[in-house]
Each structure stands twice: as structure tokens, then as C-alpha cells.
Amino acid sequence: MAERRPVAGGPRVVVWRQVALGLALFACYLLVDALASDARRLAADRHGRDVWRLERWLHLDLVRPLNDWLAGRGWLQTAANYEYAFMYLVTALGTIVWLLWRHPEAWPRARTSFVLVNLVGIVCFWLYPVTPPRLLPGSPVTDTVTTGQTWGSWGSSLVSGANQLAAMPSLHFAWALWVSLALASVSASMRLQAVSALHVALTLFVIVATANHYVLDAVVAAVLVVVADLVARRVHDPAVVGSADAFFLHVEGTGAPQTVGGLVLLGRIPGEPDGPTLAAVRDLVRGELPGLPRFTQRVTTSRWRRPRWVDAPDLDWDWHVPEVTVPDRAGMDRLVADIAEQPLPRDRPLWRFLVVRSPERSGVLLLMHHAVADGIGTVIQALNLLRPRIALPEPPAAPSSLAMAAATVVGVGQLALDGGVSESLGPTGEARDFATDGIPLAELKATGHRVTDVLLAVTAGALADIGSPPERLRIAVPLMVRAPGDGAEGNVTAAVMVDVRSRAAPTSELLAGLSTSRLRSPSRALASRFVMARLIRVLPEPLMGWFARTVYGRRFFHAIVSNMPGPDVPLTVAEAPMDAVYPVLPLAPGVPVVLGGLSWNGVLGLGLATAPESYDARAVLAAMRRRLAELREDAAPVTRPATSPARGGAAAAPAASRADRRTALEGGPDGS
């Protein structure tokens, strides 16, 4: 496996990937060089004369006078040829190694600009071949390469296969200028930057005086390097919202607010019967702001420009951390539904932390935009506000880069073949319904099935018990693809589609027909992550918006079921013990059901959001509870009496009672 070099404060760089990328660029260059033909030679000669003629018109014809001065000057002519042949390569490779070793945090931007410069240059060589002045038929200049007898120089016998129709733009000058910009970007020493600037000037003189390039070749190269650097700076600007995060900003444009978070029920604090005070909660949040960068930033958007995070240090505490009173425990769920119906305003940071009071108990409600974090990221950020301070277990180390690349390629093909869905699960409007429940993890594990599989089966069965969904539901299951060291901000998950039978059949039968092997295989998840984080990143902003609104919603899945890990120890909020936690997840456009499960201190907290036009959230959770109880009973061992006649009778009675209960579940649309 290739070496990964961890450097404090910087990302890990997989060296073999950089080498492979360089070889791929060189292969593209050789491919264009292989297109040599008499027709291309004639076209290149014609283009060379056109460029030279334009230089004369612009009074930039410096090739002839500089070449006349250099030609015949013995060792100086030979030195210029060697400089042209080797120095651009030595300085560029030296800078690449130095950046990888000393400044890996600056490498992504430098690499992107370098790749862009070379790719655009190679495309120019393909579409617009240009013969250099020294090789142009009838040229009045001296070919210093052949007259100087320079070993290894371009055009000499040693490298006679080099592309001799690649004058425009000058990659020699482009590489030299790229080195100078790369050094400036990491604030290299002034002495080193001065040497680099002298090398740029020397390269400009050499490429023209040796008649390997026109002056305009260098001008075009300079423009190319500057534009590539600007593009790379924009792509790698930490203020730019990542494509996987901006995806949900665009999704929200369909009328489906994308708010994630969690509702926490609190226990009593000695001496504080009403729970933590509003002042204590605000002090807690205020003290943790340095570790929550998105809490002091808002997002700016426009039609054509990438969304950006901008500082918003003046927080409206009455809005971000208010106190709300509700009539009862059910009022907390209604409060979540009411807030989830409205998108978070973008003129302020995209989060809220509400203190909720009811006569029965107190709670807190943490909400943030999906562009800030995914479900696990929300949990990680919430841990900053909890005591004692803990961290979730680090995800396992990723497999080798080669294995991940192969799995991603396979997964892209799988995603392309998965297709969409033809029938909607139900209508969705602006209204939202929300309900919560808590199930001990021991009860779920007692069924003998994976927790996610149980959630998928009981969800599909419950929807069939109280409605008429399609017989085969396609459910999107978010999977965590975080790597060790990933931050809490941003979306680092991938969605995998699972087909589940949805009919009023025993839950054990639904589980038996459930195939979740694709959840265990990384290919689809890695491909989904690649598309979200890499592929759509190159799309123009309007096209990215179209993509997000097209692929996320009812055309491709019916519902969402998410199962997330959480801490397994008791925690407090502003000294109040946490009794229960329920995740809050947003509906996708046209998708009326989303179920979030969060394991917390031995209990799986369920938060179910629905479109009330299609499903009542409390009715769905009640049906899920009944199906889970049935599943546990089916999984429980049967105690058999000692005598044969009694043993047969005892075995028949439980089966009959389960059948009666299933008939009752299937008898009416409300599951009663």
C-alpha cells in the first residue's frame, strides 16, 4: 500500500496517487504527439506564421533580435539550451516534492492548478498545433539546439521524439511561473521567491532567444497559469460550501426544508425543578462557539456563484437560543413539526438551540441546516454542549486506495443500473408531522436481526398496516463514510437504496425477504460519496442545482430510514441529565416518510417525520411498535410441557393467537 504522510496541521497525501496523476497527464501528452501527420505539420507551419505575423503587428517580435544575439556565443548558447531542456523540469519537480514534504495543506490547490495548466495546454496542442520559430520552414533564425550540439536538449537526437508542434502555449514558461505562484502561496522565504522570479525571467529569455517559442506563447502561458490558479483557489477555498453540503441548499429550493437535529428530554436538577435556566444554556453555547465554527457563520448564495460561508459574529441570542413553553410532552413533538415546516433563514447562522418547557418536563431542541452537517456530524457537534466531554469512536481505517478506487468504479455502474421508482408513496405539502418513541436496544437485538434490518422491515410493514403503499418500497439508507480525522462539519455520508416488500404480512416474513447485502458492500456507498463530493463539484452552479433537485426525492426512492450510533454513557446538558434523545431528519422532496434512529445510552431513540397528507406519524410509530412486539414474540423460545399430548396443544395455541393478531392488523386501514 502506498505511503500516507501525516503532517501536523495538514492532510494525508497518498503519494502513489500523485505519481499516477502525473503519468496520466504525460500519457495524454504522448497521445496528442502520436497524432503527427503531414496535414498537422502543414497546419502547424501555417499557425506559426500567423503567430509571428501577429507579433510583428503588435511590435512584440523579439525572437529574431534575441536569437541573433545568442547564436554563435559558444558556451552561453549551450547553457541556454541546457536551461531550456532541464531547468523547468528540475524546478517543478523540486517544488512538488517540497510542497508534499513541508506544506501538504497547500498541495491540493497547487496540484489542481498544475493539472489544469497541463490539460488545457495539451488540448491546445491538439486543436491548434504551432511550429516553433526554429523549425518553421524558411525561418531566418538560427536553430541553437542543432548548432550548439547540446546533449539531451529538446530537438536533439536523444529526444527527437518530443512533440515539436507544441509551441502554443509554452509549458516551459508555464511551469516556471507555476513554481513562483506556488511558492508565494505558502509564503516561502523572500530569498527563495526572488530566485524563483529570476528563474521565470531567465526562462522567458531562453525560450525566445533559442527560438523554441514566440513571445505570445509565453503571454498565453502566463494567462493560463493565472486563470488556473484562480480556479484552484476557488475550488479549494475553505469558505466555499462543499458540493455535498451545497447539494442540500439546492434541494431546499424545491420547498422541502432541510433541517436536521435532535430533541433531548431532560431530567431534574436538584434545586432547579424546571430544568436548566435559559441563562445557563446560553452561557454553555457561548463558551463552546470556538469549537463550532458554523455557529458564527452564515451562507451566501447566488444563481451563478458557489455558496460561501461568511462570518456573522453578532448572534441574535433571542432567536438562536430562545425559551419556548408547550402545554405537554406531545407539544414538544408538535414544536419540532412546526419548526421543520419552515426553512432556516439564511441572513443568520443556520442553527437553533431551543430550551423547551412543559408542565411535565424540560428539554432542549438542537437544529441546524443539512448544509452544516449530516446526522452524525450533528451528533459530534452536539457533544461539544454535553458533559462529560466524550468522543465517538473513530471509524475504522479505510481499505487501500486501490481497493477503494476499484469499489467506486463498480459502485458507479451499480448506481447507474439501480433505476428509479414509478409510483409515489403519497403526496407531500408544506405541513409536517413528527412523533417520537424509544426502544431498548436489548429488545431489538433479542430479535436476532441487525437493527437496521429490523427498522426497514417494521417500517415497511407499518406503512402497509395503515395505508396502501407500493408493494415494493425503495428506501434510502444513509451510510457513514467518514474517515479517521474527519471534522464534524459537512456531509460525509452516502445513501444506498434498499428494496423492501411492503404488505400486511408477518414481520418475520418481511425480514426473510429482505436483502440488505448492498448495505454491507462498500461499492455503492463509495460511489455515492464520489458523486456528491467530487463529480458534481465540477458542475456550474445552475447545473448542480438541477442535479440536486432531480436525483433527490420521489423519482428514486419512497422513504428514508437512518440508523446512527451515539454515546453509550449518561450525559448532561447544563447539569441536567439527559433522559432520552430523538433525532430530527428532514423529508426529501415528494417523500412523505423519514425515520431516524439514534442509539443513546442503551436506547434507540426514534424520530419519525411525515407529511400528514399521507401518514400520521403517531399511527405509524404505533404500528411499528406492534410489529416489533410480534417479532420479539416470534423470536422467543417456546417452553414445551413434558407430556406429548400437552406438548402438541401448547404449541398450537400461541401460533393461533399470533395469526389472530395478524388478521386484526391487516383488517383495517388504521391497523386496529
**How far is CA 31 from its chain centroid?**
33
> Given this model, what pLDDT does residue 163 score?
52
All three cell numbers of 335, joined, read 414544536
Q: Is the same domain home to 228 and 339?
A: no
pLDDT band at 19 (very low <50, low <70, confident <90, very high): confident
The maximal CA–CA distance of the chain, rounded, in angstroms, is 117
What percent of the chain shows pLDDT beyond 90? 58
3-state secondary structure of 310: strand
Going by C-alpha positions, the residue among 496, 597, 486, 555 that lies closest to residue 251 is 555
Contact present, 597 and 583 (Cβ < 8 Å): yes
What percent of the chain shows pLDDT beyond 70? 90
Q: Is the same domain home to 206 and 224?
A: yes
Mean pLDDT is lowest, of 131-135, 271-275, 344-348, for 271-275
Contact present, 158 and 225 (Cβ < 8 Å): no
β-strand pairing of 308-311 with 323-325: unpaired
What domain count does the chain have? 2
Residue 296 lies in a domain: yes
Contact present, 276 and 269 (Cβ < 8 Å): yes
- 389-428 burial string, b = 16+ CB within 10 Å, else e? eeeeeeeeeeeeeeebeebbebbbebbeeeeebeebbbeb
Q: What is the pLDDT of residues 533-549, one digit of tens each?
A: 888 887 889 999 999 99
All three cell numbers of 456, joined, read 426497514
> Given this model, what pLDDT does residue 148 score?
60
Pick from 200, 235, 270: which residue ends a domain? Answer: 235
Residues 6+ apart with CB under 8 A from 168: 47, 51, 124, 125, 128, 130, 214, 216, 217, 220
Average pLDDT of span 642-666: 33
Mean pLDDT is lowest, of 61-75, 279-293, 514-528, 651-665, for 651-665
Q: In one letter, which amino acid is 269?
A: I
> Given this model, what pLDDT does residue 652 score?
32
Q: In one letter, which amino acid is 252?
A: E
Secondary element (H or E) of residue 352: strand 351-357
User: How far is it, in rounded angstroms, from Cα 365 to Cα 336?
Assistant: 8
Residue 19 lies in a domain: yes
The CA distances from residue 494 to 2, 440, 584, 610, in Å, are: 26, 27, 18, 22
35 vs 439 pLDDT, higher one: 439
Say whether pLDDT at 278 is over 90.
yes
Q: Is the same domain home to 663 and 579?
A: yes
Residue 644 lies in a domain: no
Q: Is the same domain home to 222 and 255?
A: no
Going by C-alpha positions, the residue among 262, 258, 259 that lies closest to residue 599 is 262
Going by C-alpha positions, the residue among 530, 244, 532 that lies closest to residue 401 is 530
Mean pLDDT is lowest, of 369-378, 391-400, 406-415, 512-521, for 391-400
ω into residue 388 within 30 of 0, thus cis? yes
Classify the C-alpha dihedral 278-279-281-282 as positive or negative. Answer: positive
Q: Is the same domain home to 181 and 258?
A: no
> Given this model, what pLDDT does residue 658 score?
33
Classify the C-alpha dihedral 66-67-71-77 as positive or negative. Answer: positive
Q: What would the 3-class secondary structure string for 173-215 be?
A: HHHHHHHHHHHHHCCCCHHHHHHHHHHHHHHHHHHHHCCCCCH
Contact present, 544 and 249 (Cβ < 8 Å): no
Torsion of CA 486, 487, 488, 491, to 10 degrees: -60
Q: Is the same domain home to 177 and 271?
A: no
Q: In CATH, what number is assigned to the domain containing residue 561?
A: 3.30.559.30
Residue 226 lies in a domain: yes
Mean pLDDT is lowest, of 119-133, 147-161, 262-276, 397-411, for 147-161
Mean pLDDT is lowest, of 87-91, 221-225, 400-404, 589-593, for 400-404
User: How far is it, in rounded angstroms, from Cα 472 to Cα 90?
Assistant: 61
Going by C-alpha positions, the residue among 490, 228, 284 that lies closest to residue 370 is 490
Say whether pLDDT at 11 is over 70.
no
Residues 6+ apart with CB under 8 A from 37: none
pLDDT band at 560 (very low <50, low <70, confident <90, very high): very high
In terms of phi and psi (left: phi > 0; alpha: psi -120 to 50; beta: otherwise), the region of 264 is: beta
Radius of gyration, alpha carbons of the chain: 33
Mean pLDDT is lowest, of 3-12, 34-43, 143-152, 486-495, for 3-12
Contact present, 392 and 380 (Cβ < 8 Å): yes
User: How far is it, in rounded angstroms, from Cα 46 to Cα 138?
Assistant: 12
Q: Is the same domain home to 351 and 404?
A: yes
Classify the C-alpha dihedral 592-378-264-252 as positive or negative. Answer: negative
Mean pLDDT, rounded, of the chain: 86
CA angle 412, 420, 559 (to 5 degrees): 105
Residue 670 lies in a domain: yes
Q: In one letter, which amino acid is 63?
A: V
> Given this model, what pLDDT does residue 151 score?
56
Residue 540 lies in a domain: yes
Contact present, 113 and 181 (Cβ < 8 Å): yes
Residue 94 lies in a domain: yes
Mean pLDDT is lowest, of 375-389, 476-490, 535-549, for 476-490
Residue 382 lies in a domain: yes
The residue with cell 441546516 is 369
The residue with cell 488545457 is 120
> Given this model, what pLDDT does residue 187 score?
82
Say whether pLDDT at 401 is over 80.
no
User: How far is it, in rounded angstroms, from Cα 193 to Cα 183?
Assistant: 7
> Given this model, what pLDDT does residue 241 score?
93
Contact present, 2 and 15 (Cβ < 8 Å): yes
Mean pLDDT is lowest, of 136-150, 309-323, 440-454, 476-490, for 136-150
Pick from 218, 235, 252: which residue ends a domain? Answer: 235
Q: What is the pLDDT of residues 326-348, one digit of tens each?
A: 999 999 999 999 999 999 999 99
Say whether pLDDT at 672 is over 70.
no
Average pLDDT of span 645-658: 33
Say whether pLDDT at 610 is over 60.
yes
All three cell numbers of 170, joined, read 509554452
Q: Is the same domain home to 251 and 169?
A: no
All three cell numbers of 307, joined, read 455558496
Average pLDDT of span 462-471: 92
CA angle 18, 22, 27 (to 5 degrees): 145
pLDDT band at 152 (very low <50, low <70, confident <90, very high): low
200 vs 12 pLDDT, higher one: 200
Q: Is the same domain home to 250 and 141?
A: no
Q: In one letter, which amino acid is 180?
A: S
What's the domain range around 155?
10-235
Contact present, 333 and 435 (Cβ < 8 Å): yes
Q: What are phi and psi of 358, to 5 degrees?
A: -145, 160
Torsion of CA 31, 32, 37, 40, to 10 degrees: 170
pLDDT band at 12 (very low <50, low <70, confident <90, very high): low
- N-term to C-term CA, the chain: 59
pLDDT band at 641 (very low <50, low <70, confident <90, very high): very low
Q: What would the 3-class secondary structure string for 138-178 be?
A: CCCCCCHHHHCCCCCCCCCHHHCCCCCCECCCCHHHHHHHH
41 vs 401 pLDDT, higher one: 41
Q: What is the pLDDT of residues 91-116, one digit of tens each?
A: 999 999 999 888 888 999 999 999 99
All three cell numbers of 651, joined, read 404449541
Average pLDDT of span 71-95: 87
Say whether pLDDT at 309 is over 90.
yes
Q: Is the same domain home to 441 and 387?
A: yes
All three cell numbers of 658, joined, read 399470533
Q: Is the same domain home to 395 and 451?
A: yes
> Given this model, what pLDDT does residue 177 score?
96
The CA distances from residue 37 to 164, 177, 316, 428, in Å, are: 12, 32, 69, 62
Pick from 235, 252, 267: which residue ends a domain? Answer: 235
Q: Is the same domain home to 85 and 99?
A: yes
Contact present, 285 and 385 (Cβ < 8 Å): yes
